[in-house]
Structure 1
Amino acid sequence: MRRRATIRPVSFEERIGTFRVVTDAKGMGAALLTHCEPSDPYFQKAAVACLALESGDTEPEQARADFVAALKAAGVFVRDP
């Protein structure tokens, strides 16, 4: 059985004063669907990156970067050290 691909944690503001942390493609995908507009190119790039991460076809740091860019483009506050 293949091990689930993970990323360095990303903390983002889900609601005012409430933060969520994601560490895998499933969490990233759920956050994208909740906070981003599917027609946004940043969303589309991040969605492809999530699928590629899950299948092992991209580096975790690249998927993470695409995810953070999509959230920021949607106006979501991201705590990114």
Structure 2
Amino acid sequence: MEAGIRPVSFEERPATYRIVDDAAGMGRALLAHCDFEDPAYQVAAEAVLALNNGEIDPEAAREAFVAALTAAGVFVRGE
């Protein structure tokens, strides 16, 4: 069973923000905004799957997610 994460707010489109706080939302955001060949995406995708399976600390998954969005040029609020 997945543990919740501290919410992450990111700019989905100019002046439009989305907040995610679970593995499903993180996965959708990665698919929508990241390059599948980017190593940061690959690390984050693995972390999100591990989070969903309860195999990783939620904060570690969150950090990988934020790093992947940042690498893709997505503004993450408050990070």
Runs of 4+ in 1 over 3 A off after TM superposition: none
Tell me the distance in 2 between the aligned counterparts of 1:21 and 1:80: 12
Q: CA RMSD in A?
A: 0.9
Between the two proteins, the alignment pairs up a number of residues equal to 79
2:74 corresponds to:
76
For the residue of structure 2 that corresponds to 1:8, the secondary structure is coil
Greater per-residue strand proportion: 1
Q: Percent identity?
A: 62
Task: Flag structure 1 segments of 5+ consecutive residues without an equivalent.
Answer: none
C-alpha displacement of 1:12: 0.1
Task: Flag structure 2 segments of 5+ consecutive residues without an equivalent.
Answer: none
Scaled by the length of structure 1, the TM-score of the pair is 0.94
1:52 corresponds to:
50
Q: Deviations over 1:8-62 (max 9, x none)?
A: 0000000000000000000000000000000000000000000000111100000
1:6 corresponds to:
4
Tell me the distance in 2 between the aligned counterparts of 1:5 and 1:40: 26
> 1:63 corresponds to which letter in structure 2?
A
1:64 corresponds to:
62
**Where do residues 16-31 of structure 1 align in structure 2 (5 Å cutoff)?**
16-31=14-29
> 2:61 corresponds to which letter in structure 1?
A
